[in-house]
Amino acid sequence: MMAPTVNVFSDEADVGEALATALGATVALVASHRFPDGETMPVVAAQAATSVIYRSLDRPNDKLIELLLTADACRRAGARRLILVAPYFCYLRQDAVFAPGEPLSRDVIAPLLGARFDAIVTVQAHLHRTADLSAATGAPSLNLWAVEPLAAVLPAYPDPPLIVGPDEESAGWTSDWARRLGGDAVTLHKIRRGDRRITVSAARPLAATGRAVVLVDDVASSGQTLAQAVKLARDAGAASIDVAVAHALLSRRATERLIRLGVRRIVSTDSVRHPTNAARLAPLLAEAVRKMGFP
């Protein structure tokens, strides 16, 4: 009987191997062949009855086809139960049609993945109007929160910090942070007029004078939201400002801008490769994979 398998890709081999170690599973590297016309053919090793594919779905347009083909290859190589571990799950932000002519991306991509996997594990999925990820994918899905691993890599605060979330939709996330760090939480109001046209405001002045402030966000990409939140905290007299983000998609320029604005430290999970990676997700992911029936 084969040992349970975690399939990993070369560009994520280290984090995939960390998950396999946490699960006590065998690591199998997916070999990927690229044809001259750009098509991809992944090749996998023989699979155990229950197998995992680890693939974080940042840069999704580069990864999705290869992932779907890999899932098919794993089935043909012996996997009867297949679990996707995608710490970053793509194409969920467009969960409604906001203007004529737009697609509803969530209802295209989530079921596409759900049809190929028996279970899905992700972290801090970008869900705003979607209450249940399983309903979106059509497969049993766990959406984990990264409060604990991120909080563990922040400094020890002598007094409870003020936790600031970027918008009203982050209220549950900020409340969990406040319980974990012992501080109080406030959420800002955000108006988005485009990818980089964002206005962030506070309903009332932040009670940040002389206090440590922790800005928390699920996804940081352009950095515009965080930059405006940093200015609000700084203008309110914050003694220090730290940023904790589940998925760091920030460019180097955006990261450096936050530091220039007064951020002392930025920490992120290793869901997406980034210089700010500090929190390791493997233990959290392994626990969830076991809940989904592994091995």
pLDDT in tens, 253-289: 999 999 999 999 999 999 999 999 999 999 999 999 9
Strand partners, 63: none
* pLDDT reading at 117 higher than 60: yes
Is-contact 48 81, C-beta < 8 A?
A: no
Computed on alpha carbons and rounded to an integer, the radius of gyration of the chain in Å comes to 20
Reduce the DSSP state of residue 178 to 3 states and report it. helix
What average pLDDT score do residues 247-252 get? 96
Q: What is the CATH number of the domain that holds 215?
A: 3.40.50.2020
**Regarding predicted confidence, which is higher, 49 or 193?**
49
pLDDT at position 91 over 90: yes
C-alpha distances out from residue 150 to 98, 103, 181, 189, Å: 33, 34, 11, 24
The answer on pLDDT for 195 being more than 60 is: no
Q: In this structure, is residue 275 part of a structural domain?
A: no
pLDDT at 154: 97
Per-residue pLDDT for 168 more than 90?
Answer: no
Note whether 94 and 152 are same-domain residues.
no
Q: Are residues 168 and 256 in the same domain?
A: yes
Q: Is the pLDDT of residue 95 over 90?
A: no
According to the model, what pLDDT value does residue 96 have?
85
- CA-CA distance, 289 to 287, in Å (whole number)? 6
Domain that holds residue 48: 5-145+280-291
- 98 and 190 inside one domain: no
- Residue 200: strand pairing partners: 190
Please tell me the least confidently modeled range out of 39-43, 96-100, 237-241.
96-100
Indicate whether 126 and 180 sit together in one domain: no
Ranking 53-62, 185-194, 233-242, 283-292 by mean pLDDT, the lowest is 185-194
Looking at the structure, tell me whether residues 120 and 141 fall in a common domain: yes
126 plus 21 within the same structural domain: yes
Pick the range with the lowest mean pLDDT from 131-145, 155-169, 189-203, 272-286: 189-203
Of the candidates 118, 120, 92, the residue with the CA atom closest to the CA atom of residue 107: 92
Q: Is the pLDDT of residue 25 over 80?
A: yes
The reply to whether 42 and 87 lie within a common domain is yes
* pLDDT for 193 beyond 80: no
In a domain, 90, yes or no: yes
Same domain, 109 and 226: no
Name the DSSP letter for residue 67.
H
151 to each of 27, 176, 239, how far by Cα in Å?
A: 29, 11, 19
Region 55-60 average pLDDT: 97
Which pLDDT does position 98 carry in this prediction? 85
Same-domain pairing of 102 and 166: no
Counting every residue written for the chain, the total comes to 295
Give residue 194's pLDDT. Answer: 61
For residues 141 and 287, state if they share a domain: yes
What is residue 1's predicted lDDT score, i.e. its pLDDT? Answer: 64
Whether residue 88 sits in one domain with residue 104: yes
Domain count, the chain: 2
pTM of the model: 0.95
Share of the chain above pLDDT 70, in %: 98
